[in-house]
Amino acid sequence: MQQEVEKDVRRNKEQTKQRFLDAVEDILLTKGFAALKVNHIAKTAGLDKKLIYKYFGGTEQLLDDYIRTKDFWSNVKGNKISDDITDGGHKFVEKLLLSQYDYVAKDKAFQKLLLWRLTEQRASFKKLTDAQEANGELLLQSISDPYFGPRAGQFRAVMAVIIAGTYYLDLYAAVNGSTFCGIDLETERGRDQIKRALSFLLRSTYNDK
């Protein structure tokens, strides 16, 4: 018969693996990805490093595992495609854009991951990126492509610039002295200015159709 209840918490493989994954995030947030070394991770997790080799195969695989388990796009998926997309998804995309700008500002782990991805080459990053692209492709194909028709390519390029802009501004705001083009990205006022700019740029693009 099954004995699912209350095993010794200290002798549980899955739980131990999770403690390593938690330690990775902890270090990532507090020390940055440069500090993600076996000894440090093991010490942070309060466990023996040997287990990292046993369970994951090594630090690299542990990190890959961490990256893989992070589904940062669940929040985007949560934004169901509005019923009313007669406007070519204008309102929907705007909402998505602004909420994404705020979301990235709050989620420090996501910021670190964005940065990390730009810094190192890693197979698991490619997977993450591909998943993101597939996700975006779905949106573009179902919403904007039909609306913009032959100008769909131009719309995509505009979206690329704008989304890239929000990413960079969020990353930039997280470091000290975060004034960009004279706008203080850490204040509510500054962020509002950026949001209005995002809305304006999107509106211009839709109006230009």
Residues that bind a copy of itself (CB under 8 A): 32, 34, 115, 117-121, 125-126, 129-130, 133, 136-137, 140, 153-154, 156-169, 171-172, 174-177, 179-183, 193-194, 196-198, 200-201, 204-205, 208
In angstroms, the Cα distances linking 27 to 24, 53, 109, 172, 178 are 5, 19, 10, 20, 23
Could you say which residues in the range 20-79 bind DNA, by CB under 7 A?
37-40, 47-51, 53-54, 58-59
Query: Cα–Cα distance between 156 and 86 in angstroms, integer?
Result: 19
| Residue 109 interaction partner, one of a copy of itself, DNA, none, beta carbon < 5-8 Å per kind | none
**Contact between 80 and DNA (CB under 7 A)?**
no
Tokens of 4: 């699912």
Q: Between 5 and 175, whose beta carbon lies closer to a copy of itself?
A: 175
Q: Between 78 and 177, whose beta carbon lies closer to a copy of itself?
A: 177
Query: Which of 170, 171, 56 has the alpha carbon at shortest distance from 124?
Result: 56
Query: Which of 55, 78, 7, 74 has the alpha carbon at shortest distance from 42?
Result: 55
Cβ 116 to DNA shortest distance, Å: 15
**Contact between 189 and DNA (CB under 7 A)?**
no
Phi, psi dihedrals of residue 179, rounded to the nearest 5°: -105, 125
**Contact between 133 and DNA (CB under 7 A)?**
no
Query: Which of 55, 62, 50, 53 has the alpha carbon at shortest distance from 14?
Result: 55
Q: Between 39 and 129, whose beta carbon lies closer to a copy of itself?
A: 129
Residues 6+ apart with CB under 8 A from 5: none
| Residue 3 interaction partner, one of DNA, a copy of itself, none, beta carbon < 5-8 Å per kind | DNA
Q: How many residues does the chain have?
A: 209
Q: Between 24 and 159, whose beta carbon lies closer to a copy of itself?
A: 159
Q: Between 52 and 93, whose beta carbon lies closer to a copy of itself?
A: 93
Query: Cα–Cα distance between 180 and 60 in angstroms, integer?
Result: 35
Q: Between 41 and 162, whose beta carbon lies closer to DNA?
A: 41
Tokens of 90: 């204008």
Binding site for DNA (CB under 7 A): 3, 7-8, 10-13, 15-16, 37-40, 47-51, 53-54, 58-59
